Structure 1
Amino acid sequence: MLPIEKFTFGVGDRFAHQAGAQLRAFEQLANDGVEVTPVWNKSNREHTFVGSQPQSVYDAAKTAVEERGWKKPWHIDADHIQLATVDPFLPCSDFFTIDVADSIGKAASADDVNAFVEAHGELIGTLTLDGLSSPLQVSKQDVKRVAQQYLLAVKEAAEIYRYIAAAKGADHVIAEISMDETDNPQTPPELLVILAAIADEKIPVQTIAPKFTGRFNKGVDYVGDLEQFEREFSDDLAVISHAVKTYGLPETLKLSVHSGSDKFSLYPIIRQCLKRTGAGLHLKTAGTTWLEEIIGLAEAGGDGLALAKEIYSYALEHVDEFCAPYASVIDIDKNKLPDADTVNAWSGPRLASAIRHLQDNEHFNPHMRQLLHVSFKVAAKQGSRYTDLLKANETIVAGEVTKNIYDRHLRPLFVGS
């Protein structure tokens, strides 16, 4: 396998124009004495919406790395791929987020389930693992239930991984398994059973993305019980450490937090857990950079502001269409979305302050922010008009991108206030 670094951070770049600005944030963090590896990610769904190809992500990142003289590691993530969608990502990606959410809950054969349960008697009983908040109580029926729910998904992940490894060579592959896009969170005991199944399939998984309790909505803060999240996150770290020792999984295996952008209330919790345990982390963001582009265009005024307003007006008219694919990761109250006439009367700074994620700003509107987060295809339809405005206002837009990643994400996660 290709060993992953201890701390990695996923950045999306919908239109492949901000790789340099994103990389600048990692340079600034390195100047603080903390090395975090950038991982540029873009899913097949986003490529389809925008009309781009996976190679464009690699090309933009490589150009930024060369122009800025970045000498440290970097990766390209084939985000949320499945067997049917992975081929275009093979030549240009080294990090593969294997998404098996569609197979979770589909029952494996009774023979496979029974064989797994019989092979893993060590999972049954009172499990006292180092670092747990309290012992895990796991019955034979619990193991059987989890196996019935997840064994088929793990077998699918193995099939996808072996296909990728055969095409690229295992030494050129970082494997992540994603189980976060499901209705129900995985508890720490369930995660342990899943990791045992992954080990049985001999997948050298280096990051795993469970679904945590609470809401991880796109582009806004976490909604849920912070104390419960802290227990769950800490226990998951203990489970991973135990699974590495018990099942021979890669020592680099770490938790991955998806939809991790803007989860400001969680960053101090995560940072303290990492400091206490010495564990690694992968945190994935996506549409945050696209939002910073809109904020930058609004701040720039003129044609940039006019287009930002047009994009919002169009998104407002098509709110149900744009929200449907992301229904499980957004919460928008349409009654709190200002009408187009109101927004059209705003100045650039006023519009920017409604979108920019500063929670103590009286103008911040999380409903507008979430709507724009999922409406990037409106900008894609503008073609060169949009990208030409990004180029014309590069200094302002890039400044917003760098500041957002460095000030509001990387520093709180890895340095603290």
Structure 2
Amino acid sequence: MTNQTLQREIVTSRVFRDGTSYMLIDQPNSNGKSLLVTGDTSGFTGVAGEIEGSLVCALTAENAAALRRRLPWLNPVPLGLRTSAGFGDRLGVATPGHIAAVWNTGVAPIFAQQSVRENNRTGRTPQQVVDDAMWSVFACGWQEAWGADADHLKTINDVPPFVAAGYTFFTIDPGEHVDDAAETDDLNTLYAKAGALDWALLETSLDDVKRNYQRTFVLNGLTLTFDEHMLIKAVVKYAGAVAHTVRMLRQLQNSMANRPFELEMSVDETGTTTSLHEHFYIAAELTRLNVPFVSLAPRFVGRFEKGVDYIGDLGELDTNIAGHAAIIKHFGSRYKLSLHTGSDKFGVYPLAMRHTGGLVHLKTAGTSYLEALRLMAHVNPALFRQVLDFALDHYENDRKTYHVSAVLQKVPRSCNLGDAQLPLLLDQFDARQVLHVTFGSVLDHFGTALRQMLAAHADAYTDYIKRHFDKHLEAFKT
């Protein structure tokens, strides 16, 4: 590269492999970065560069796929039973901060993680999510394993775009098939409901279930006794969810062919707690049906709400997690305990690590978006004031699909705050939740301005994310 070219192009990362050079470059008077390929440019699309044999390529899905074929560490892979964390990035620019935080912790990262709901609200596709993460993996020089999580898949139709985009971790959310009413049904009602279950798909019968489970199980420091009512309640409440997970697994197996993948079952977004007996029943049935699940997300005691610490008695949760961990050990420690809505639960992390011995998957999402708003409050208070008031106006509607308890009246309007007070809202319970769950509406209205702000302060945003996740990952270091 000549000195004249160096003056016009700023190299931000470079890899040389098999006689070909790959560089991300910033070009003055252009929008964002480009990929400069010098050497074998076959498979890439772009325009000829000033260097002989080079091609300047836009960061398109096609060029991302071509680069993944050349540099295998840019492909997401299954992470197995390592202590792991998922880093949802609703804006597509937080991954450098996630990488900076996870480096040298021993925690296996999932850098691409979005649900169908989140993609619908942000206007992004599964391919865009995984490609945005991949470009950051390349730019930051991360060459360790990383994963991509298709989060909260509810229907068969949710699966194909994530498979096509190369995801390796599939979170099945059969919450719509969980019968929360079973919690208060009498025995006659439970038996009537049990008769309507899909026993053919479950490959068993109610009589067989009773023979297998209506007894006492002595686990690692835990004794579980299933009487008739407790067992039939567990069956009615969760057998439909187990059956739906089997349906989703079969779709995945057909779609993925011989590609390796991991499956998580998530029942955290339901109306009732997952008891230890119910966890045991779910795990036993998934095992019997040869469902290769790598993690399970129950609904714990207390409340795991968006963007705030655990709400409830930590002593009770400690006992609860110990019980869940004992069940995992009983089944050979073949899966992890997954902490959904896991961001900012600083009191929970040491408990989960201690009881599971590191068989934990932490899942975070909106907290990275909140750090973007924290930065905005510092560098562009006028814009933050607009976002705050807009979020207050849209909270009651946007909260409907979330478990949150923020009280709108506890969050002041921007006109009642000085500039120095604005960043403090990102440390206040009610304000965090109001800002958290309104992200879709805010991005529809302020997305361009927010992204421009983050582009202008990219290094600062990386620092904010790293500082925030350093606190999250401290308890998970291995």
1:154 alignment counterpart: 242
1:101 alignment counterpart: 175
Residues 159-178 of structure 1 mapped to structure 2, 5 A cutoff: 159-169=247-257, 171-178=259-266
* Residues 162-205 of structure 1, C-alpha deviations (whole Å, 9 max, x = no match): 10121113642110001111111111111111112212322101
| Structure 1 SS opposite 2:419 | coil
2:353 alignment counterpart: 271
1:58 alignment counterpart: 130
By how many angstroms is 1:271 displaced?
2.8
d(CA) in 2 for partners of 1:158 and 1:351?
A: 48
- Please identify, of 331-340 and 282-291, the stretch whose mean Cα deviation from structure 2 is larger: 331-340
Q: Is the 8 A contact 1:40 1:57 kept in 2?
A: yes
* Residues 366-416 of structure 1, C-alpha deviations (whole Å, 9 max, x = no match): 11111001121213432322211110011222211111011x20013437x
TM-score if structure 1 supplies the norm length?
0.87
Q: Which 4+ runs in 1 deviate beyond 6 A?
A: none
d(CA) in 2 for partners of 1:211 and 1:115?
A: 26
Q: Is the 8 A contact 1:184 1:211 kept in 2?
A: yes
1:359 alignment counterpart: none
1:243 alignment counterpart: 331
- How many percent identity over aligned positions? 29
Q: Is the 8 A contact 1:4 1:252 kept in 2?
A: no
By how many angstroms is 1:110 displaced?
5.0
d(CA) in 2 for partners of 1:384 and 1:281?
A: 36
Instruction: State the Cα RMSD in Å.
Output: 2.1
2:227 alignment counterpart: 139
Question: What letter corresponds to residue 89 of structure 1 in structure 2?
Answer: F
By how many angstroms is 1:51 displaced?
0.9
Which of 70, 84, 94 is matched with 1:18 structurally? Answer: 94
For the pair 1:280 / 2:359, whether they are aligned, the reply is: yes
Q: How many residues align?
A: 383
d(CA) in 1 for partners of 2:405 and 2:196?
A: 39
For the pair 1:391 / 2:391, whether they are aligned, the reply is: no
Residues 10-409 of structure 1 mapped to structure 2, 5 A cutoff: 10-27=86-103, 30=104, 34-82=106-154, 83-92=156-165, 93-105=167-179, 107-109=193-195, 112=199, 115-119=205-209, 121-132=211-222, 135-169=223-257, 171-244=259-332, 252-274=334-356, 278-300=357-379, 304-326=380-402, 329-343=403-417, 345-347=418-420, 350-356=421-427, 365-377=428-440, 378-406=442-470, 408-409=471-472
Name the one with the larger helix percent: 1
CA radius of gyration, larger in: 2
Question: What letter corresponds to residue 84 of structure 1 in structure 2?
Answer: N
TM-score if structure 2 supplies the norm length?
0.76
By how many angstroms is 1:116 displaced?
4.4
Q: Is the 8 A contact 2:234 2:277 kept in 1?
A: no
**Structure 2 runs not aligned, ≥5 long:** 1-76, 181-192
| Structure 1 SS opposite 2:176 | helix
d(CA) in 1 for partners of 2:79 and 2:424?
A: 41
* Residues 208-251 of structure 1, C-alpha deviations (whole Å, 9 max, x = no match): 1000011111000111111111111111111122134xxxxxx5
- Please identify, of 392-401 and 83-92, the stretch whose mean Cα deviation from structure 2 is larger: 83-92
Q: Is the 8 A contact 1:40 1:76 kept in 2?
A: yes
**Structure 1 runs not aligned, ≥5 long:** 245-250, 357-364
| Structure 1 SS opposite 2:158 | coil
d(CA) in 2 for partners of 1:68 and 1:131?
A: 45
d(CA) in 2 for partners of 1:188 and 1:171?
A: 34
By how many angstroms is 1:119 displaced?
4.6
Change over 3 Å in CA distance of 1:171–1:339 after alignment to 2: same
Q: Is the 8 A contact 2:94 2:462 kept in 1?
A: yes
